[in-house]
Amino acid sequence: MSAVGPGQLRARQRPLLILSIAGVRAASALCLAWPLASLVAASGIGARTQGDRALFEPGGYLLLEVVRLQGPALLAAARGLLPLLGMGLLLSALCNAGLLLGLNQSERIRASELTARALRVAPRLLLLGAGASLLQIVLGLIGAALAGTVPEPLAKPLAATLGQVAVWLAIGILVGAVGGLADVARASLIRHEVPLPQALAHASQLAWRRPALSCFGWLPYAFPLALSFALAARIAEACDVSQAGAWRVALVFVVHQLVIVIAVALRAAWYARALRLTASETLRQS
Amino acid sequence: MRCGSSTRCSISASSRWAERWPRLAVALVLLAGHGRALAAEPVLEHAPRVASYQLDAKLDESAHRVHGHGSIELYNYTAATLHELYLHLYMNAFKNDQSLFLRSPFGAGRSGGHGGKWGYIDVKRLYAAQMETDLWPNRSAKSPGDPDDETDVRVPLPVPLEPGHTLKLDVAFEVQLPEIVERTGFKQSYHFVAQWFPKLAQLLPDGSFNHFSFHPQSEFAADFGSYDVTLDVPERDVVGATGRCEPLPSPGVGRRALRCRAEDVHDFAWTSWPDFVETRAQVGSVDVRVLTPPNHASNAATELEIVRFGLSHFGERFGAYPYPTLTVVHPPDAAADSGGMEYPTLITTGGAWFAPFTGARDVEAVTIHELGHQWFYGLFASDEHRFPFLDEGLNSYAEHSGLAQRFGTGSAYSGFGLRVSNEALSRAIAAARGADEPIAQGAGDFFSFRSVGAIVYGRTASLMSTLERVYGKPQLDLALHDYADHARFRHPEPRDLIEAVRGRLGDAAARNLERALFERASVDYLVRDVQSVPRDPHAGVFDESSGRRTVPRSEPRPPAHFAGHAIVLRHGALEFPVDIELCFEDGHCEKRSWDGSGTDYTLSVDSTSQLVSVTVDPTQRVLLDDDLTNNAAGTHERGSPRAFERLFYYAELLLGGGLP
């Protein structure tokens, strides 16, 4: 197996891999959504002539009624699904490892081999992800504490809000930078096949040399994703599934699945970018 | 003395009033006001004047104190001789933790927590000139039956007040404002001054007083009268107050004075803050002022727009708004606890400066709700302590229907393919408490403020919406118009509402209303045992004149016949007529009607297509229905593909973590 040259590191080289990962995610989501949807159907909604169109009818009487009456059961079921959610998240992390590995390879790689290699690097990647998440949570808590200290003069509500926004923006930038750096460290770990401390050291060096790209290189991929979320919400609204017609549900389903595929593709594109970055900048040993 | 001139003003106001309201007429109106039928009563143009106040108030903005003095007039319109009177000292609710207000579980109150500073009122003098006595030394210092509370004070009269006579009291008092709590107090340089003066308890027709300690779940009740209040405030302050205010010559360096007068009202509140931004507009004959903090221009525009709509909408439904002014006060964010309240000709709203940009309609909702109070609380002056549903409940219904007219089915939320109305939201909250308690009971009798919210606000609104949906909006509008005509300036009782409904919607509707209000009556429609079996009417053994004939089932069956069967049940004591929808496999549906009498209704239907589902009340007319999910049953379940699709998508997003 040989690593692909930096010039060929492109997400579009791996369409099947992207679709496979979207498929795995869909399978995991199916396990989570099915029991909850069954509870909703059993609430009495499924017995109505119009079926669960009633949930989306203007006014929201039946939607709120199902939430009111089935809320405790749905919450209990959701709690019961937490282990499954945990496994789903682990599977997602494994998929992300596979995505990085697949993008980094010049040859086609068999699924079994990709899985085996992903399993090998997964502990390091999970440790990295857990550390980054912990740091982001700590930053969030610091942000909350700082936001609480922003003075709120009665006559300057705009200034007070801007003060809060400034605090949260600063925290958001730091949280985003931590996420970006963690991804770059992941890419370094895969690209150079180095232990976690060296991958982190490489990411730090990159952050020093090319801070914008290392910390916020993901931003150009986040914008189209946000746009696709918003567009999908608009389309779903326009389809108005409270009206009769199976095509409405089918269309919304297709649009939503397209968003998921786009999300995976954009992640792949960012990973490819991160791999290119780590490939072009060598690790300096101290 | 400035309008100390007060005496002259008072006499002059009295004279004007006397022209309109001969005292005999006051007595007749108020004495006839209880337990009468609605028919043939004239709509009152003005309120009977029973309790009137002429007050001078000086705000000490650094100590957050109000120094007040002036006079109070009580007209004994009853046939009874009065030997005592009662004064509400509401501000003492915030005096210490032993008051009824603060010792009650505070989480059950309207506000979020204790104020940072105590508040109280010290009455210095209550002098009755015609008795040549200061009545205050002989008052009972504590509330009747409550040695720890000082919000309800009995004052014995050394000389009885005969029917038809007026008692004039000179009063002096000092108020220490609390840090904003329960809609009153101060926050830095912002002052909202409500429930601040010694206030006469409402005189009832039998000569007793409607007096009570200030309970955290309760609001107020008072007699109509005129208010003539002079306010002395810092020169830079912008003032909002009940009534129409005119500037007076400056009372001193750095000070300004205003004289505010209001007639046909039963309370007086005011606010003073240097940073208010004023937006002003003439809406019909009403001079509307909107006072907001800086940077709230969008909220001011929203509130003004809702006031324009509301004055017209409520005016058509419940009679014209009769006052020349309306002041809308939007408190600064840090003093939000003084928002969302109603006073005569003055309402308070609330919301962050960016609220209009969030897509939520909270500012619209609070504005139209508080504006609606100008009728149910202000003009009708229903007893908010004894029957809070007559104010908050009916007003919540009016708010929901107003918002629905203005914003349609997405009045509370609209987005992601969902449209949720305030009415549906309120119904869900109310249904969660079901018929735990009667609607028509005193505010302090409810288990908690959550119960007040669910039952007084929510269940009353659902009850009125049910009447509207079942018996027709035009009919209910007529009934409410009758009620409003009757209630204007008359302190209505629940019986007045029931009679108004009976007059336009009939006995059955009135009976349902009465049971729902007083007897915790509820209703739940449900469908059971939907069956549909194929039937061949020609097959079987038949005894005929020619002998016994056996006809086998035809195979294949001719155009199939199905015998359909279902039971529709009604649980609970309320009986509303409902539609029942029967739908068949070939896609067609039929409608049956049930008048709701009896506890069950058996459906039998012969059809050429299989009966697949039966739904009772398919359009949710009966919002009081305890459980809307059991209103349908079928021969097979249709699943929930739409719910599954959304849950599936959200689960995928959750697993993906959102960002690339």
Mean pLDDT over A116-136 rounds to: 93
Helix pair B494-505, B473-487: axis angle to 10 deg: 140
- Compute the average pLDDT of residues B228-248: 98
Instruction: Say if residues B414 and A234 touch (Cβ distance below 8 Å).
Output: no
Residue of B294, B415, B628 lying closest to A65 (CB–CB)? B628
Pairs of CB atoms within 8 A across A/B = 235
Residue of chain B whose Cα is closest to the Cα of A43 = B629
- Yes or no: say if B326 and B345 are a contact pair by the CB < 8 Å rule: yes
pLDDT value at residue B419: 87
Contacting residues of A for B413, CB less than 8 Å apart = 60
User: Would you tell me which residues 383-442 of chain B have a C-beta closer than 8 angstroms to some C-beta of chain A?
Assistant: 408-410, 413, 415-421, 423-425, 427-428, 431-432
What's the confidence (pLDDT) of residue A10? 76
- Residue B29 pLDDT greater than 60, yes or no: no
Q: How far is CA B489 from CA B87, B204, B319, B322, B453, in A?
A: 22, 14, 12, 11, 26
Q: Which candidate from A60, A156, A240 shows the least CB-CB separation from B420?
A: A60
Residue, of A146 and B656, whose pLDDT is higher: A146
The pTM (predicted TM-score) of the whole model is 0.89
Alpha-carbon gap: B241 to the closest alpha carbon of chain A (Å) = 20
Where is average pLDDT lowest: A142-151, A165-174, B414-423, B516-525? Answer: B414-423
Query: Is residue B22 over pLDDT 60?
Result: no
Q: Is the confidence metric ipTM above 0.90 for this complex? A: yes
**Interchain CB distance below 8 Å, B189 and A154:** yes
Indicate the DSSP class of residue B377: I
pLDDT for the residue B538:
77
Residue numbers in B near A218 (CB within 8 A): 659-660
Q: Which of B332, B648, B660 lies at the smallest CB-CB distance from A154? A: B332
Contact: A65, B627; criterion CB under 8 Å: yes
Q: Which of the four pLDDT bands, split at 50, 70 and 90, describes residue A176?
A: very high
pLDDT higher than 90, residue A270: yes
Q: Is the pLDDT of residue B6 over 70?
A: no
Of B417, B431, B659, nearest to A218 by CB-CB distance is: B659
In this complex, is the C-beta atom of B659 within 8 Å of any C-beta atom belonging to chain A? yes
Burial code (b: 16+ CB inside 10 Å, e: under 16) for A113-133 equals ebbebbeebbebbeebbeebe
Average pLDDT, chain B: 91
Chain A contacts in chain B segment 558-597 (CB below 8 A): 581, 583, 589
Q: Is there a contact between B417 and A241 if contact means CB atoms under 8 Å apart?
A: yes
- Which residues from chain A sit within 8 angstroms of residue B187, using beta carbons? 154
The amino acid occupying position A33 is A
Of B525, B615, B628, which is closest to residue B576 (Cα–Cα)?
B525
Q: What angle do CA B89, B238, B338 make, to 5 degrees?
A: 45
Give the amino acid at A204: S
CA-wise closest residue to B125 among B139, B111, B114, B112: B139
Give B477-490 as a DSSP string. Answer: HHHHHHHHHHHTTT
Residues, chain B, total? 660
Cβ–Cβ gap B293/A222 under 8 Å: no
Put simply, whether A43 touches B (Cβ < 8 Å) is yes
CA distance A113 to chain B (A): 23
Residues of chain A numbered 203-262 and touching chain B (CB < 8 Å): 218, 221-222, 225, 233, 236-237, 239-242, 246, 249, 252-253, 256, 259-260
CB B181 within 8 A of CB B119: yes
Q: For residue B105, say if its preceding peptide bond is cis, omega within 30 degrees of 0.
A: no
At B594 the pLDDT is 97
Q: Which chain B residues are closer than 8 Å to A100 by Cβ?
A: none
Grouping H, G, I as helix, E, B as strand and the rest as coil, residue B530 is strand
CB contact under 8 A, A32 and B612: no
Tokens of B271: 């606010």
Q: Residue B162 gets which letter from DSSP? A: -
Helices H / strands E in chain A, number of each: 9, 0
Residue B1 identity (one-letter amino acid): M
CA-CA distance, A260 to A25, in Å (whole number)? 9
Provide the pLDDT for residue B417. Answer: 77
Q: Work out the widest C-alpha separation in chain A, in whole angstroms.
A: 72
Q: How far is CA A270 from CA B77, B462, B599, in A?
A: 83, 53, 65
Confidence of residue B18 (pLDDT cuts 50, 70, 90): very low
Q: Do A49 and B632 touch (CB under 8 A)?
A: yes
Tell me whether residues A51 and B332 touch, CB distance under 8 A: no
At A155-174, the pLDDT tens digits run 999 999 999 999 999 999 99
Residue B652 to residue A92, Cβ atoms within 8 A: no
- B339-374 pLDDT, tens digit each: 999 999 999 999 999 998 887 899 999 999 999 999
Q: Which among B417, B628, B634 has CB closest to A56?
A: B417
Task: State whether residue A269 sits within 8 Å of chain B by CB.
Answer: yes
Answer yes or no: is pLDDT of B72 > 80.
Answer: yes
* Residue B468: closest CA among B423, B416, B422, B421: B423
Of residues B17 and A130, more confidently modeled: A130
Beta bridge partners of B525: B570
Q: Is B640–A41 a contact, with Cβ atoms under 8 angstroms apart?
A: yes
Q: How far apart are CA A56 and CA B419, in angstroms?
A: 8
Where do the DSSP E strands lie in chain A? none
Q: What is the pLDDT of residues B500-545, one digit of tens each?
A: 999 999 999 999 999 999 999 999 999 999 999 888 777 889 898 9
Q: How far apart are CA A11 and CA A113, in angstroms?
A: 20
CB contact under 8 A, A49 and B654: no
Q: Does B447 touch chain A (CB under 8 A)?
A: no
Mutate: best of B647, B650, B653, partner A, most A CBs <10 A: B647
HEC string of B427-478 equals HHHHHHHCCCCCCCCCHHHCCCHHHHHHHHHHHHHHHHHHHHHHHCHHHHHH
Q: Looking at residue A7, what is its pLDDT?
A: 64
The full DSSP string for A31-54 is HHHHHHHHHHHHTTGGGSTTGGGG
> Does B467 lie at the interface with A, CB-CB under 8 angstroms?
no
Q: Identify the residue with better confidence: A279 or B69.
A: B69
Assess whether pLDDT exceeds 50 at residue A151: yes
- CA-based nearest residue in chain B for residue A234: B416
* Residue B26 scores a pLDDT above 70: no
Selection from B205, B201, B133, B142 nearest residue B170 by Cα: B133
Which residues of B are less than 8 Å from A32 in CB distance? 647, 651, 654-655
Other Cβ atoms within 10 Å of A138 Cβ, number: 12
Q: Give tens-digit pLDDT for A200-241.
A: 999 999 999 999 999 999 999 999 999 999 999 999 999 999
Smallest CA–CA distance, residue A80 to chain B, in Å, is 15
From the list B432, B640, B660, the residue facing A267 with the nearest CB is B660
**Which residue in B385, B72, B79 sits closest to B210, CA to CA?**
B385
Q: Distance between CA B182 and CA B176 in Å, rounded? A: 15
Which residue in chain A has the smallest CA separation from B423?
A59
Confidence of residue B116 (pLDDT cuts 50, 70, 90): confident
Percent of chain B with pLDDT over 90: 80
For B606-659, the pLDDT digits (tens) are 998 999 999 999 999 999 999 999 999 998 878 899 999 999 999 999 998 744
Cα gap B289→B84, rounded to integer Å: 40
**Where does the pLDDT of residue A121 fall: very low under 50, low under 70, confident under 90, or very high at 90 and above?**
very high
- Report the residue of A31, A32, A49 to disrupt the B interface, i.e. the one with the largest count of B CBs within 10 Å: A49
Interface of B with A in 530-549 (CB under 8 A): none
B410 with A58: Cβ contact below 8 A: yes
Instruction: State the pLDDT at residue A12.
Output: 79
Torsion angle of the four alpha carbons B221, B227, B231, B237, in this order, in degrees rounded to the nearest 10: 70
Measured CA to CA, the distance from residue B603 to residue B564 in angstroms comes to: 8
Q: Do A49 and B615 touch (CB under 8 A)?
A: yes
3-state SS, residue A11:
helix
Q: What is the pLDDT of residue B15?
A: 40
Among partner residues A42, A49, A252, which is closest to B613 by beta-carbon distance? Answer: A49
